[in-house]
Structure 1
Amino acid sequence: MTKVLSAREVDLFYGRTPAVRNAQLSLHRGEVVAITGQSGSGKSSLLYCLAGVLPVARGEVCFEGRPLGALGDEELSALRRERFGFVFQYGELLPELTVEENTALPLRLAGQRKSEALSAAGEILGRLGLAELRERRPSQVSGGQSQRIAVARALVHKPAVVFADEPTGSLDSSNATAVLDEFLALARSQGTAVVLVTHDTQVADRADNRYTMCDGTLTAQVREGA
């Protein structure tokens, strides 16, 4: 498998307080990796290091073999905009845009024509069973629908990696299962790797590989029978 993302001996501090200690992780094309842990364990901090949002204090994060620390601000912004996708716990849709416009946003930010971007957004919304919501505003959809739209927005530009921070944390169990099913199936079908941060062990069990985070220390979990 092709390695798309790696972390080597990564440390992160908030002031003098360590948030991530000596983290090691590899992610391959189309692979889903879950990071579990209690609140405050450092798992979201590590996620943002991997996405190039937070600079590491020591070690390095590499995307397709290139250290993120070697990139300037504009290069990092372009990378996050064009090659990465993001899903957050509460969707974070823009209220002034329609569902279709929200979904098309990564393509528009990358310079794609509006008509082409909206066409691609309509296609992926259709794949997720959301075509009838295209003209609605975020305030006019349910929580489960909002999270599906956030998934569509994260995947519409076929990114290399999607970073998902508690993507089902705000949903009831039935909606959480449905959203996760659709998210992982779509990501895997287009070869997008996923870093999934969650406190829910049932969600983590859906990943190909799983890590736990405790007091900033990342530990790989070996599956039974592996």
Structure 2
Amino acid sequence: MSQVLAAQGIDLRYGSSQAVKGASIALQRGEVAAVMGPSGSGKSSLLYCLAGVLPVSDGEVRFEGRALGHLSDAELSSLRRDRFGFVFQYGELLPELTVEENAALPLRLAGQRKAQALATAGEVLGRLGLGELRERRPSQVSGGQSQRVAVARALVHRPAVVFADEPTGSLDSVSAEAVLEEFLTLARSQDTAVVLVTHDADVAARADTRYTMVDGVLTLQGRSGR
């Protein structure tokens, strides 16, 4: 494995409030890292710093050796579009697009022709058991199916890193287990690293590396053999 993403001693401050305090984390290709902690502990703030959405107050985040703080806004936008993927708690699908069009969106934004993008999206949707739902709208699928579409969208362009913020938090336990299994299996098969924010110990147990975050302080809890 080779390192793909690393943060060293990063702080994030909002005025006099400090959301992230000296956090350090390193991800290898294909590694799944879970960050656990209670609501308000700084988990999501850390995630957005690692993804270059929020600029850090101190410290440094590097992707493939490049410091995010040295990139222009255009370079950061390109990085998030082409090399990163995102999965959120409620899917955040575009209601006016079909399931297939939602899944194909990263490829279309990268300039890929529609037919090719839809074909690739269809393949990924098929791997997630959604092949027969490609022409439906988000309002016509269940919560678990909608989250699978979000997973497909995050992975369709084979990103280097996926940032997942409570990706199964809105689902019942059966749907959550199925979506998580498919998500992590597909990500690992593509050698995509995953940063997974969760408050669920069962979800965190599926990761290769586990961290806890309390009051902005990130602590390594353990690693599993891969």
Normalising TM by the smaller chain, what interval?
A: over 0.9
* Distance in 2 separating the partners of 1:58 and 1:128: 40
Cα displacement (A) at 1:15: 1.5
Equivalent residue, structure 2, for 1:36: 36
Q: How does 1:20-31 map onto structure 2 within 5 Å? A: 20-31=20-31
Cα displacement (A) at 1:222: 2.5
| Structure 1: segments with no counterpart, 5+ residues | none
* Distance in 1 separating the partners of 2:166 and 2:221: 19
Alignment: residue pair count: 225
Is the 2:208–2:223 Cα contact (8 Å) retained in structure 1?
no
TM-score, with normalisation over the residues of structure 2? Answer: 0.98
Cα displacement (A) at 1:216: 0.2
* Distance in 2 separating the partners of 1:224 and 1:162: 20
Equivalent residue, structure 1, for 2:93: 93
Distance 1:66 1:170, change over 3 A: same
- Which of structure 1's runs of 4+ aligned residues deviate more than 6 A? none
* Distance in 1 separating the partners of 2:162 and 2:223: 23
Q: How does 1:113-124 map onto structure 2 within 5 Å? A: 113-124=113-124
Cα displacement (A) at 1:169: 0.1
Is the 2:43–2:197 Cα contact (8 Å) retained in structure 1?
yes
Cα displacement (A) at 1:63: 0.1
- Per-residue CA deviation, residues 125-163 of structure 1 (Å, 9 max, x unaligned), is 011110111000000000000000000000000000000
Q: How does 1:37-76 map onto structure 2 within 5 Å? A: 37-76=37-76
Is the 2:88–2:164 Cα contact (8 Å) retained in structure 1?
yes
Is the 2:208–2:224 Cα contact (8 Å) retained in structure 1?
no
Matched, 1:10 2:5: no
- Per-residue CA deviation, residues 166-209 of structure 1 (Å, 9 max, x unaligned), is 00000000000000000000000010000000000000000000
